[in-house]
Amino acid sequence: MTEDAEVTDATLASVRAELEDERDRLAERLRELSRDESSLEFDDNFADSGQVAAEQGENQALAAQLRDQLDDVEAAIAKLDDGTYGVCEICGRPIGEARLEAMPTARLCIDCAG
């Protein structure tokens, strides 16, 4: 399929379902990390406090990455809602269906992304 091919309604429905599932999965993972982080408390005299601090840092980095992914998913869903999904944010041309199937949160066509 060429890059400038229009995205079909069936593809849009499939993408929406996939994005909504991904949004729910990411939100749940963030909730889990929040629960995990609250259980990683320690006394300053605890011998393994460095390990706990390292784990807290790793959890914070992972949470930031998950929040970024969730933001991308929510932005894609908003574009589906307002009718701008599948349109390159730079040049305004359609993003190819194959690209959107591979990366549903794509904001740029292959030409502008490269």
Residue 16 belongs to some domain of the structure: yes
Residue 69 belongs to some domain of the structure: yes
**95-112: per-residue pLDDT in tens?**
988 898 899 999 999 999
Q: Provide the domain count of the chain.
A: 1
Q: What is the pTM of this model?
A: 0.78
Cα torsion for 56, 62, 63, 69, to the nearest 10°?
180
Residue 111 belongs to some domain of the structure: no
Residue 26 belongs to some domain of the structure: yes
For residue 3, what pLDDT is reported? 47
Confidence of residue 38 (pLDDT cuts 50, 70, 90): low
Residue 90 belongs to some domain of the structure: no
Domain, as residue range, for 52: 9-83
Residue 110 belongs to some domain of the structure: no
Exposed / middle / buried, residue 89 (Cβ in 10 Å: 0-12, 13-18, 19+): middle
Residue 97 belongs to some domain of the structure: no
Q: What is the pLDDT of the chain when averaged over all its residues?
A: 86
